[in-house]
Structure 1
Amino acid sequence: MPDLGKYAETVLSAYAVSIALLIVLVTVSLWRAKRVKKQLEDVEMKAKRNG
């Protein structure tokens, strides 16, 4: 790991915030995809029942 000197805290906190935001974005995306998939399946089932 490179010596960051007096900027170590700033750089490492920026990395931590970036990683946290990426985790949140991935989690929200997966949750939303699951929800949309369920809605699509419901619509398809209704369409099959109604002909």
Structure 2
Amino acid sequence: MNLELGKYAEAVLSSYAVSLVLIFSLVWLSLRRSRKVKAQLDEVEVRRKQNG
């Protein structure tokens, strides 16, 4: 695969790099947040079972 990007190669490749970093960051933050919320929900469920 031979890409001919010409004089815009640096701008195009850096844009791709920034986009990939942002996408991976959003996925990582979403997974981290979902684990935290799941732990909180599990804690609430345990307390509810103890009191109910």
What pairs up with 1:2-41 in 2 under 5 angstroms?
A: 2-41=3-42
CA distance in structure 1 between the partners assigned to 2:33 and 2:9 by the alignment: 36
CA distance in structure 2 between the partners assigned to 1:34 and 1:47 by the alignment: 20
Of all paired residues, the percent bearing the same amino acid is 55
Aligned to 1:48: 49
2:9 partner SS = helix
Question: TM (normalized to structure 1)?
Answer: 0.96
- CA shift at 1:8, angstroms? 0.3
Structure 1: which 5+ residue stretches go unaligned?
none
Question: TM (normalized to structure 2)?
Answer: 0.94
CA distance in structure 2 between the partners assigned to 1:22 and 1:40 by the alignment: 27
Write out the 4+ residue segments of structure 1 that deviate beyond 6 Å after TM superposition: none
